[in-house]
Amino acid sequence: MTDTAADAEEVPEVEPEPEGGQTVQLDDFCELRFEALSTSSFWVKLVEGKAEVFGTELVRQRRYHFPAGSKAAVFTFSGCELKVWGETESRYTSKDTHAVTVYVNCHAALQQLRRQAQEARRRGPRVLVCGPKDAGKTSLCRQLVSWATREKSKPIYVDVDVGQSQISVPGTMGAVPVRKPFDIEEGLETEQAPVLFQFGHTNPQANINLYFYMMNRLAEYVNKRCEYDQDANYAGLVINTCGWIKLEGYDAIKQCASAFEVDLIFVIESERLYNDLKRDLPSFVKIVTLPKSRGVADRGQEIRQELRDRKVTEYFKGPLLSLSPHRISMPTSAFQFYRLGVQALPSSLLPLGHEKSEREEHWRRAVRVLPDRSLLHALLGVSQATSSDQLADYPVYGFCVVVDVLNDSVVALAPASGTPPSNLMLVSTATWMMS
């Protein structure tokens, strides 16, 4: 891979370096793995050599901040010296980094396919990453995207994991062209706004038909993007999926592969999933099984909720929590609030001849929500649709969160001031309380 950040000029410290700290020496192909305490932060500085975090290189002499509860790993191909500060739940160095070597080889193969696509002026590789919960899917996607951009490729990153989306707030699926590696502290940085669909739940099971439908709609937007953005077309897609791999979850993986027309699937730590996909998908789809990194930690429901809350906090306050959201008022006479999907009525209660249409449409039907106290703390998606019957078909501009409900208006926090660009609001089951 082409080295960039590590060869850049050294960045001076913005803040005085704290006293103390510990020096850590890493040999080649070694990794420093750590989990920060839930009550305190952790800092890492690269003193000598070269190192990276999930595919993004560290700049020498810059001190990187990892917030409380963070789990990460600093990897080096050629050895390095680090300095670290802060208390951790666990911290150790490991030479068991075989998985990283395998992932790098996957990246090299993808880069070769991208070069061939550019030479032949055809579509580049579209890779889908799947596997069970806590297998390291998101970390691998982040590495593949960051390594690609370090070699000047510009892939589109797609995330259909509505529970732990890396592109936006929980309950959404989205896609965005990426031009540079993930920022170690601030995460995904993009020059263009992502395409986001508000599914409205953090679990696909809540409305699996709507999940499939929005996935197909997102794929249509991605394909249109590739038609006029040749850089993205040659670089292809990297698609992250949720960890639900059985029953309808397995159907979701197949649906995703079909919708985005993938030609390569990376399966992490599931021989059964690998064999099922080999059996059920067309032969032109190449399926590769990959090992799970030994540094990947299991996450319980409480940790998953904390990560979702942190993602919403970052949306409104910025990745470094340095911004303040704006208070906006939405008159109830001008704004409408909806949820997508209703419980299907039994056939016995339906008029004769309406049974089929009811069963087919109930899952994406827009249901009006009264602007009452039940909306408090709910995330609202500002829809790009022009009528309520189009809410499932169009992405959203962005999000706001309800902080008060008055007699004639709903008060919300938004990342920008001014009147929202649409009066159609999609209500999510995901909530957030500003601390």
Q: Which of 318, 269, 249, 229 is nearest to 99 (CA)?
A: 269
Q: Is 341 annotated as a binding residue?
A: no
Per-residue b or e along 97-129, where b marks 16 or more CB atoms closer than 10 Å to that residue's CB = bebbebbbebbeebbebbeebbeeeebbbbbbb
Q: DSSP strand E in 219-375: where?
A: 237-240, 264-268, 286-290, 326-331, 336-340, 366-368
- Scan for tokens 């999510």, then name that residue: 428
Closest CA to 195 of 260, 146, 255: 260
> Structure tokens of 160?
């259909």
* Euclidean distance between CA atoms 38 and 236, whole angstroms: 38
The residue assigned the tokens 């032969």 is 283
- CA-CA distances (angstroms) from residue 375 to 216, 329, 355, 397? 29, 14, 32, 20
> Is 404 labelled as part of a ligand binding site?
no
Q: Was 135 annotated as part of a binding site? A: yes
- The closest alpha carbon to 151, from 179, 187, 120, 121, belongs to 179
31 in a labelled binding site? yes
Q: Any binding-site annotation on 50?
A: no
Q: Is 138 annotated as a binding residue?
A: yes
Is 172 annotated to bind a ligand? Reply is no
Find out whether 146 and 125 touch, Cβ atoms under 8 Å. no
- Residue 10's SS3 state is coil
413 φ/ψ angles, rounded to the nearest 5 degrees:
-100, 140
- DSSP-derived secondary structure letter, 204: G
Which H helix or E strand runs over 93?
A: strand 88-94
**Residue 40, marked binder:** no
Check if the beta carbon of residue 41 is closer than 8 Å to that of residue 65: yes
Give me the phi and psi of 384, to 5 degrees please: -90, 0
Binding residues for ATP: 31, 71, 134-139
Binding residues: 31, 71, 134-139
